[in-house]
Amino acid sequence: MSIYSTGKNIISLFYALEKAVQVYDLRNDVVTGTAKKFGHILRTLLNIYPQVELVRYREYVFFNKQRLRFEIDGYASLQFIHDKMKQLRIRSLIILPGINEEELILLCLALKKNRDEFPSEFNAKRFAYVRIEYTDAEEETPDFLADGQRVKRIYFKALKVTKNLMNNLWKNQSVDVKSSKRVVHSLVNALSQDEFGLLALTAIKNFDEYTYNHSLNVGILALALAQRIGFSKKSLAKIGTAGILHDIGKVSIPRDLIYKPTRLSEQEWDILKHHSEYGVKQIIKTRGLDETGITSLIVAYQHHWNYDFSGYPFHGKETLQSTFAKIVRICDSYDAMTTARIYQPVPYIPSIAIRVIWKLSGQCFDPLLAKVFIQLLGLYPIGSCLEMSDSFVGLVIGQNEGYPTQPTVKIVATMQKDSIDGPIIDLSVDKGHKIIRAVYPQQYNINPADHLT
């Protein structure tokens, strides 16, 4: 059994024992039987590892340094343990060799207490084989995630490779396919450890390099959405590559048209639409017809098809859109809406773009995928600028799983437009702060990149 599967099993048994202790007498067979199962798997693990550790960091739960994902299978148990640790300000819960069923039951009893009572209750029990570390409002990054620059290096390396790939194709020069493959696998690994850290970087827009930024951002968003619905690692590599290459057909269109500073004429727009077809040729040229290449060319061809069979290139109802293309359709639209371009100097506020995705689900977008995408980004995606009820302005820096309307924000300004280095506030915990509305960060002279990199 993998460490990931083992972690899910631990969470499931922990959740079951906590619930049993809340409902039954401690001598009930349900309590003792669950404690016995939990104790057995812990002792087995402790023959392999020096300790078993659950760490909560922001919206993540890690089991022995492996991040556990919120998936349909086991969602309730992971959500419960995450919320319990969060409510009690537990940063890490460490179980040591020697743990027994009695101590596990006592631990679950202590966890029934509220935030103020728990520390004294835990200390009074004098646990021999359980250690607790607490956190404060300004959460310290765990040691195994301390190198926050790693995700940024991966992102900007991927951006460089994407730029080189497209520039070389524009110039009819050879491309380095191996670099592209390595970059995608690096993104998959980075996403498995720090999903929102990588997503945060997609909120940083570069007006001058829209084509490259957009291609990479779509790849990352597609990876995150595909991971949420349970794609295998092999399939994640395919969708990540397909997302990055979805617009590669544009290299077959004159640059003057791609970067035209005014709105396109109807004739020019018709030319641009052919990038979907040109993409098939370019992908065969760069990747050949391996599995990833086939997936990428299908996505390049279909990523402007709509759920209701409209869109381009024209297709009949007998031709079904692939799931990969449906994913990229959503991610492409969202990133395009939220990015300033020559003919769209004022982009959509992220929260408005989310509402457009929802409004057009069933028409342009697959309804189920649209729902998962919105759950992934939240109603106020990372990078959103929010006016708060206490006359401060906050920037969304993280989401709270299960609370899409209550993100984590960093206070960065006052409504009088004074920049401040304010606290980080978790709106799912601190109910004293309310969101008034989302606004453009430029209204308060805020550059989201200053706080997200």
Q: Where in the chain is the domain with CATH 1.10.3210.10?
A: 147-377
Instruction: Please provide the DSSP assignment of 204-242 as one string.
Output: ---GGGHHHHHHHHHHHHHHHHHHHTT--HHHHHHHHHH
Question: What was the pLDDT predicted at 132?
Answer: 93
| pLDDT above 70: residue 85 | yes
| Virtual torsion, Cα 108, 112, 117, 118, nearest 10 deg | 30
pLDDT confidence of residue 221: 97
| Bridge partners of residue 365, in order along the sequence | 361
Token pair belonging to 40: 């057995």
pLDDT of 327 reads: 98
Q: What is the mean pLDDT of residues 351-371?
A: 96
**Which residue bears the tokens 């991040």?**
67
Q: Is the pLDDT of residue 1 over 60?
A: no
Q: What is the pTM of this model?
A: 0.75
| Whether pLDDT at 137 is above 60 | no
| Averaged pLDDT, 406-423 | 91
CATH placement of domain 147-377: 1.10.3210.10
Q: Which of 20-29, 229-238, 283-292 has the lowest mean pLDDT?
A: 283-292
User: Can you list the alpha helix ranges (DSSP code H) found in 194-337?
Assistant: 195-202, 210-228, 233-245, 255-258, 266-273, 275-287, 291-302, 323-337
When pLDDT is cut at 50, 70 and 90, the band that residue 144 belongs to is low
pLDDT, position 175: 75
- The per-residue pLDDT for 315 is 84
Is the model's pLDDT at 374 over the cut of 90? Answer: yes
Amino acid 151: pLDDT: 83
Cβ atoms within 10 Å, residue 411: 19
pLDDT at position 300: 96
Please check whether residue 198 is in contact with residue 155, taking contact to mean a CB–CB distance below 8 angstroms.
Answer: yes
Query: In the prediction, which pLDDT does 288 show?
Result: 74
User: Which helix (H) or strand (E) segment is 436 a member of?
Assistant: strand 435-439
255 CA to centre of own chain: 33
Question: At residue 139, does pLDDT exceed 70?
Answer: no
How do residues 57-72 score in pLDDT, each as one tens digit? 877 788 888 878 777 6
Q: Give the pLDDT score at 395.
A: 94
Q: What would the mean pLDDT of 184-210 be, rounded to a whole number? A: 82
* Cα separations in angstroms, 4 against 67, 141, 193, 228, 412: 8, 21, 12, 15, 37
